[in-house]
C-alpha cells in the first residue's frame, strides 16, 4: 500500500477523481460531466445512475493516467454536492426517482406551509438552518409523498435515504455500508447539530420514518471498503465531508475567525466559529464545519445559489461566450460608464435574503450594452453577493473583526480579473492558494490522516501556501456607488417588491 490518496469530488455538474501522492501533489485526475435535468420551472434533477457511472469512470481513468493500480491507494476521501437527495431500494440499490438537486425549488409551498404552521423556530434552533427548499428534509418528504408506495415501503424498512456521499458509499461497498458524515447530516433539516443526533421531533414534522436514515460518523472514520471487483483491489473509505466543509479543511481554516469562500456552480462562504455555535440574526446558517474525534467545530455559512452557473448561462443560454475562460478578459473590456447589474436569482435567492420565489433580472441596460457588460455583470454579481455575506457575518459574530482575509477556491478563482474585482468590492484582501483543488484536498486529507500516511492538522495547516494575494484598489466613492446600485437592483428583484 502506497501513500497515494484518491479523492472523489462529486459535484453538481461533473464528477472528478483526483489522486494525490504522499507530498499532497496531484498525480492523476479525470473528470466527467453528466446531464442536468429540468422537468419543470425551478426543478433540477440528476440521474443517480449517471452520477454513479461518472464516479466509476473517473476513478478508473485517474488511476490509468497516474500509472497506478488500486493497490497503490491507501484510502478514499469523498466530497460531494450537499443537500441533493436520493431514495433507493435497500435490497437492490435501485433509485426510486431521479436525485432532487440542492438547487431544486419544488418544495417551496411545503416550506411555506411549515412556516405558517409555526415550525420554523424549532428547525432553526435544532438544525441551524432555515425552512427553505434548498435543504434535503423537504425533498425527502416530497419523494415519500409523491413516489407511489414510497412511504409505506419506507416504514417497512425497505428504502434508504441519502445525500450523494451515502449513495456512493452504498454503491462502492456493495450495500454493506449505510453511513454519512456529520457535515452532510447537518444539511438535511433532520439532524440536531447541538446533540449530533437525528431529531425525532423534526422527523415527525416532516413525516419521515427513522428507518430510512443512515448512521452518522465523524468526517474521518471507517466508512467501509470499496469492493475489489470495481477497481482491482479493496480500498478503505476513510474520509467524507460535504463540498463546502471539505473546502474549509482543504484551506486549513482550522482556527476560529478563519474564512473561506468557494466559487463553483454556487458560492459558499464559511466562517469558522470554533466550538461556539453562533445563532445568526441576519439569516445566515449555523452549521457543522467538521467533526473529528467526536469534537464538533461550527461555522456560520452564507449560501449563494448562482455563481459559476451565471457564467454557464452566458455560455449556454445567451451564447455570448464560447467558454467560461473568456469571461474575465471580456469583462475587462466593459464600458466603465455603464453600471449594469445582474441579480442571478434563476432558482431564487439564498443568503441573506432567502427568497425562493425571486427570479433573475438585469438592470441598467442601454443600447450600448453588449457581451462585455453582460460578462462583467455576471462576475460582479458573485462579488456583490459575497460582500453581503461578509457584512452579515460581521454583524452576527462578536469575535469577527474588520481585518478579514478571504481564502478562495473553486473554478472561478483562476480568473485574476474576478479575484481583483472581488477584493475591490468587499474591500478586503483575497488569498488564492497554490493548490486550487482545495475541496478535493480537504477530502483527501481526512482520508490520508486517518490512514496515517498524511500529516496531522498542524503540519497540514503549516503546509498551506498562497499563490497570490489580491488587495483592494478601487476608490471608496466608486465602490460605494456600485454597491448602492446593487442593493437597489436586489430590492427590485425580491418577490415581495
The 3-class secondary structure across the chain, one letter per residue, is CCCEEEEEEECCCEEEEEEECCCCCEEEEEEEECCCECCCCCCCEECHHHHHHHHHHHHHHHHHHHCCCHHHEEEEEEEECCCCEEEEECCCCCECCCEECCCCCCCHHHHHHHHHCCCHHHHHHHHCCCCCCCCHHHHHHHHHHHCCCHHHHHHCCCEEEECHHHHHHHHHCCCCCCEEEHHHHCCCCCEECCCCEECHHHHHHHCCCHHHCCEEECCEEEEEEECHHHHCCCEEEEEEEEHHHHHHHHCCCCCCCCEEEEECCCEEEEEEEECCCCCCCCCCEEEEEEEECCEEEEEEEEEECCCHHHHHHHHHHHCCCCCHHHHHHHHHCCCCCCCCEEECCECEECCCCCECCCCCEEECCCCCCCHHHHHHHHHHHHHHHHHHHHHHHHHHCCCCCCCCCEEEECHHHHCHHHHHHHHHHHCCCEEEECCCCHHHHHHHHHHHHHHCCCCCHHHHHHHCCEEEEECCCCCHHHHHHHHHHHHHHHHHHCCCC
Residue 330 exposure: Cα atoms within 13 Å on the Cβ side: 23
pLDDT digits (tens, 9 = 90+) for 245-265: 999 999 999 988 888 998 888
| Residue of 390, 395, 398 lying closest to 302 (CA atoms) | 390
pTM, entire model: 0.86
Write out the chain's pLDDT in tens, 497 residues: 458 999 999 998 899 999 999 888 899 999 999 989 999 988 999 999 999 999 999 999 999 999 999 999 999 999 999 999 999 999 999 999 999 999 898 999 999 999 999 999 999 999 999 998 989 999 999 999 999 999 999 999 999 999 999 999 999 999 999 999 999 999 999 999 999 999 999 999 999 999 999 999 999 999 999 999 999 999 999 999 999 999 999 999 998 888 899 888 888 899 999 998 999 888 899 999 999 999 999 999 998 888 888 888 888 888 888 887 888 888 889 899 999 999 998 888 887 888 878 899 999 999 999 999 999 999 999 999 999 998 889 888 876 555 678 899 888 888 899 999 999 999 989 999 988 888 999 999 999 999 999 989 999 999 888 999 999 999 999 999 999 999 999 999 998 86
Residue-level pLDDT at 457: 93
Phi and psi at residue 134, in whole multiples of 5°? -55, -40
CA distances from 238 to 77, 173, 426 (A): 6, 13, 37
**Number of neighbours of residue 46 by Cβ within 10 angstroms:** 23
Task: Quote the distance between the C-alpha of residue 461 and its chain's center.
Answer: 22
Question: How far is it between the farthest Cα atoms of the chain?
Answer: 64
d(Cα 241, Cα 218) in Å, to the nearest integer?
9
Query: What nine digits make up the cell of 117?
Result: 404552521
Q: Which residue's C-alpha cell is 442571478? A: 344
Residue-level pLDDT at 175: 95
| Residue of 386, 401, 220, 182 lying closest to 296 (CA atoms) | 182
Query: What nine digits make up the cell of 115?
Result: 412556516
d(Cα 429, Cα 406) in Å, to the nearest integer?
6
Residue-level pLDDT at 1: 47
Task: Quote the distance between the C-alpha of residue 213 and its chain's center.
Answer: 21
**Number of neighbours of residue 44 by Cβ within 10 angstroms:** 21
**Number of neighbours of residue 56 by Cβ within 10 angstroms:** 17
Q: Positive or negative, the Cα torsion across 167, 221, 240, 292?
A: positive
> 333-337 — which CB contacts under 8 Å span 24+ positions?
333/372, 334/372, 334/373, 334/375, 334/376, 335/368, 335/372, 335/373
Amino acid at each position: 500500500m502506497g501513500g497515494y490518496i484518491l479523492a472523489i469530488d462529486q459535484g453538481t455538474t461533473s464528477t472528478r477523481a483526483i489522486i494525490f501522492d504522499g507530498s499532497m501533489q496531484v498525480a492523476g485526475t479525470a473528470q466527467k460531466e453528466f446531464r442536468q435535468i429540468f422537468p419543470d420551472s425551478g426543478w433540477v434533477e440528476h440521474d443517480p445512475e449517471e452520477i454513479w457511472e461518472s464516479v466509476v469512470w473517473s476513478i478508473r481513468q485517474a488511476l490509468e493516467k497516474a500509472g497506478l493500480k488500486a493497490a497503490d491507494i491507501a484510502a478514499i476521501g469523498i466530497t460531494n454536492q450537499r443537500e441533493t437527495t436520493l431514495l433507493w431500494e435497500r435490497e437492490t440499490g435501485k433509485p426510486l426517482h431521479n436525485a432532487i438537486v440542492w438547487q431544486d425549488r419544488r418544495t417551496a409551498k411545503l416550506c411555506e406551509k411549515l412556516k405558517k404552521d409555526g415550525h420554523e423556530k424549532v428547525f432553526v434552533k435544532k438544525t441551524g438552518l432555515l425552512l427553505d427548499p434548498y435543504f434535503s428534509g423537504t425533498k425527502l418528504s416530497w419523494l415519500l409523498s409523491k413516489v407511489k408506495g414510497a412511504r409505506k415501503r419506507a416504514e417497512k424498512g425497505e428504502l434508504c435515504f441519502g445525500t450523494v456521499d451515502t449513495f456512493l458509499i452504498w454503491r462502492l461497498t456493495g450495500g454493506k455500508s449505510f453511513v454519512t458524515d456529520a457535515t452532510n447530516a447537518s444539511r438535511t433539516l433532520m439532524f440536531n447539530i447541538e446533540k449530533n443526533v437525528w431529531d425525532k421531533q423534526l422527523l415527525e414534522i416532516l413525516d419521515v420514518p427513522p428507518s430510512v436514515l443512515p448512521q452518522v460518523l465523524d468526517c474521518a472514520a471507517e466508512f467501509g471498503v470499496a469492493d475489489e471487483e470495481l477497481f482491482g483491489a479493496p480500498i478503505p473509505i476513510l474520509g467524507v465531508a460535504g463540498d463546502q466543509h471539505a473546502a474549509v479543511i482543504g484551506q486549513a481554516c482550522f482556527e476560529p475567525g478563519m474564512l473561506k469562500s468557494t466559487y463553483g456552480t454556487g458560492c459558499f462562504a464559511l466562517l469558522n466559529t470554533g466550538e461556539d455555535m453562533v445563532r445568526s440574526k441576519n439569516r445566515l446558517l449555523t452549521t457543522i464545519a467538521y467533526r473529528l474525534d467526536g469534537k464538533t467545530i461550527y461555522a456560520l455559512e452564507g449560501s449563494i445559489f448562482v455563481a459559476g452557473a451565471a457564467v454557464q448561462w452566458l455560455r449556454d443560454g445567451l451564447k455570448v461566450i464560447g467558454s467560461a475562460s473568456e469571461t474575465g478578459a471580456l469583462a475587462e473590456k466593459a464600458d466603465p460608464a455603464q453600471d449594469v447589474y445582474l441579480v442571478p436569482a434563476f432558482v431564487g435567492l439564498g443568503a441573506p435574503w432567502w427568497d425562493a420565489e425571486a427570479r433573475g433580472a438585469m438592470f441598467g441596460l442601454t443600447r450600448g450594452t453588449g457581451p462585455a457588460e453582460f460578462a462583467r455583470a455576471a462576475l460582479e454579481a458573485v462579488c456583490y453577493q459575497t460582500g453581503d455575506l461578509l457584512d452579515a457575518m460581521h454583524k452576527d459574530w462578536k469575535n469577527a473583526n474588520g481585518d478579514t482575509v478571504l481564502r478562495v477556491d473553486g473554478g472561478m478563482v483562476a480568473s485574476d480579473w474576478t479575484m481583483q474585482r472581488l477584493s475591490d468590492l468587499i474591500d478586503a484582501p483575497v488569498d488564492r492558494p497554490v493548490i486550487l483543488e482545495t475541496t478535493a484536498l480537504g477530502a483527501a486529507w481526512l482520508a490520508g490522516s486517518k490512514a496515517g500516511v498524511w500529516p496531522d492538522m498542524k503540519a497540514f495547516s503549516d503546509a498551506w501556501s498562497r499563490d497570490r494575494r489580491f488587495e483592494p484598489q478601487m476608490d471608496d466613492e466608486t465602490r460605494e456607488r456600485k454597491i448602492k446600485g446593487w442593493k437597489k437592483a436586489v430590492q427590485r428583484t425580491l418577490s415581495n417588491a
